[in-house]
Amino acid sequence: MTEILKQNILKQNILKHISLSEIEMMGFCGLFQNKSIKKKEFLLREGEICKFEGFVTKGLFRVYHIDNNGFEQVLYFATENWWITDMDSFTNEKPSNLYIEALEDSEVLLISKKDKEFAYENLPKIEKLFRVMTQKTHIALQRRIIDNLSKTADQRYIDFIEKHPQLFQRLTNLHIAAYLGISHEFLSKIRKKKSIKK
């Protein structure tokens, strides 16, 4: 994928949230650095300070935490056109509790905290961009928490397939189970039950 194509994908994403002049757009997009990540490589590991916000132009990532019992808990998956970071670590410059791993060979555009703050100071509209995106992320997380508290694992599994049919095809059962907060064995039982009903 060429640099121009990656920049165009980023521009299209930005324009969904705010309008920028061509000069403003060039100035902001010029602050991003491209990074290629091979499948199973990490963009971030637990204990590291997250020094980037990233925009995925190609591939697939999972953002997850390992609890005290050694179980993986997937917060979210990030595929093309998604933003990715550990906001707590990035904002507060503290060691991360998360891992960000590529599940496919991937490409991501990264902006540093210094360059993001430069954009805030010199391109006022950028602050609105990140405010809008933060609000949408907050709403999505709130809805997920409510779903986890109020819906059965079966319902959450069906919801996931319906909301993310293409993403579903790119994930293993282990990854989906870790996202739903259930064991791989329990997910297999749910899938078996659904196939019998069909």
Closest CA to 58 of 115, 10, 126: 10
How many separate helices (H) and strands (E) can be counted in the chain?
9, 8
Asked whether residue 94 is domain-assigned, the answer is yes
Give 32-76 as a DSSP string.
-EEEEE-TT-EEE-TTSBP--EEEEEESEEEEEEE-TTS-EEEEE
Summarize the confidence of residues 119-148 as an average pLDDT.
93
Q: Evaluate whether residue 154 is within a structural domain.
A: no
CA distances from 63 to 27, 49, 127, 190 (A): 29, 15, 24, 24
**Domain count for the chain:** 1
Domain for residue 161, yes or no?
A: no
Q: What is the pTM of this model?
A: 0.90
Tens digit of pLDDT for each residue in 11-32?
999 999 999 999 999 999 999 9
Q: Is the pLDDT of residue 48 over 90?
A: yes
Q: What is the pLDDT of residue 197?
A: 60
Average pLDDT (36-62) is 98
Q: Specify if 60 maps to a domain.
A: yes
Residue 100 belongs to a domain? yes
Residue 37 located in a structural domain:
yes
pLDDT of residue 196: 58
**Which residue segment(s) compose the domain that 25 sits in?**
3-122
Q: Is residue 186 part of a domain?
A: no
Query: Is pLDDT above 60 for 141?
Result: yes
In the block, which residue shows the tokens 């994928």? 1
Residue 150 falls within a domain, yes or no?
no
CATH, residue 89: 2.60.120.10
